[in-house]
Every structure is written in structure tokens, then in C-alpha cells.
Amino acid sequence: MNLDPAVINQAAVFTIVLSGLALLAGVFFIRQGNREAHMRAMLSASALATIFLVLYLTRLALGYEKSYAGPAEWRGAYLALLLSHIVLAAANLPLAVIPLAYAYKGLRAAGSLSAVDTVPAARAAFDKHRAWVRWTVPVWLYVAVTGWIIYLILGHYGTVMHG
């Protein structure tokens, strides 16, 4: 089977765009008080982000990488954007896993989403979940949006590196 890194790259971008949209839907649903739709949206966002990571690492393993070849006066801004994206993307993995673990712990303690507020151990776990997502959601959205921006910049000003 011949894996085309450019196609894998496109699939990775598609999955992370969908992940960002699912994340926004999850935020909307929880603000509306719809815990079940929130849970489904966030599990979808997490699954899509995981698929993205697998595709991204596969693309890198196949040696497909682009470097910035745009205007020199924009290089510093591009590199600052890229650096912030890389650092926060690395931080985002634990920032996403920890609140998921608290939500799972809370759901197990409650037995159902409708019982979250009546079981003290569940409420405590979901309070920790909420505390973590106050950091996770902005970081996740920043990483997603800057990733899309980097993709667009490299689509216009990138050159494929051959390693």
C-alpha cells in the first residue's frame, strides 16, 4: 500500500477542523445545560483530535514536512506563531486527558449524568473537570486555530522538505 503524505496531511487538517467544531459544540451544549450532548460532542472532539495526532505523526514518519518560504519580513511572526503553537499543542494533550479522566470518574461515581448533582463524589469530580477545562478549552482552541493558520500559510508559502 502506497501512503501519500499529502493526502494524509489533508485528512489530518480535516480531522482537526472537525475536532475544533465539535469542541465549540460541546461548549455550547454545556452552557445550554445539555450534559448528554456536551459529553457526545467532547468525546467526538477528543476522538477526532486523536485521529489527527495519528495522521500527523504518520505524515512526519513518512518524511513529509513543509518549511516556510514566504517573505523574509514575515518570518519572525511566522516562527513566533509556530513556536506558540508547538508549545501549547504539547501542553494540550495532558490538559485534555486530565479533565476527561475527571469526567469519567464523576460519571462512574454518579452512574448517570442525571445523578451528577446528587452524588457528592461525582459532583467533586465534575468540579475538578470544570476547573481544568477553564484552561483546556482556550488552549485547545488556540492550538486548533493556529494550526489552521499555519496550514494556510504553508499552503501558500511553504516548500516541501525532503529528508
Domain of 87: which CATH number? 1.20.120
Give me the chain's average pLDDT, please.
Answer: 93
Tell me the three cell numbers of residue 154: 504553508
Segment 39-61, tens digit of pLDDT: 999 999 999 999 999 999 999 89
CA 52, 53, 56, 58 torsion: positive or negative?
A: negative
Higher local confidence (pLDDT), 66 or 48: 48
**Confidence class for position 162, pLDDT limits 50, 70, 90:** low
Q: How many domains does the chain have?
A: 1
Q: Residue 75 sits in which domain range? A: 5-161
Q: Which residue has the cell 505523526?
A: 57
pTM of the entire predicted model: 0.88
Distance CA 83, CA 62 (A): 23
Q: Per-residue pLDDT for 5 more than 90?
A: no
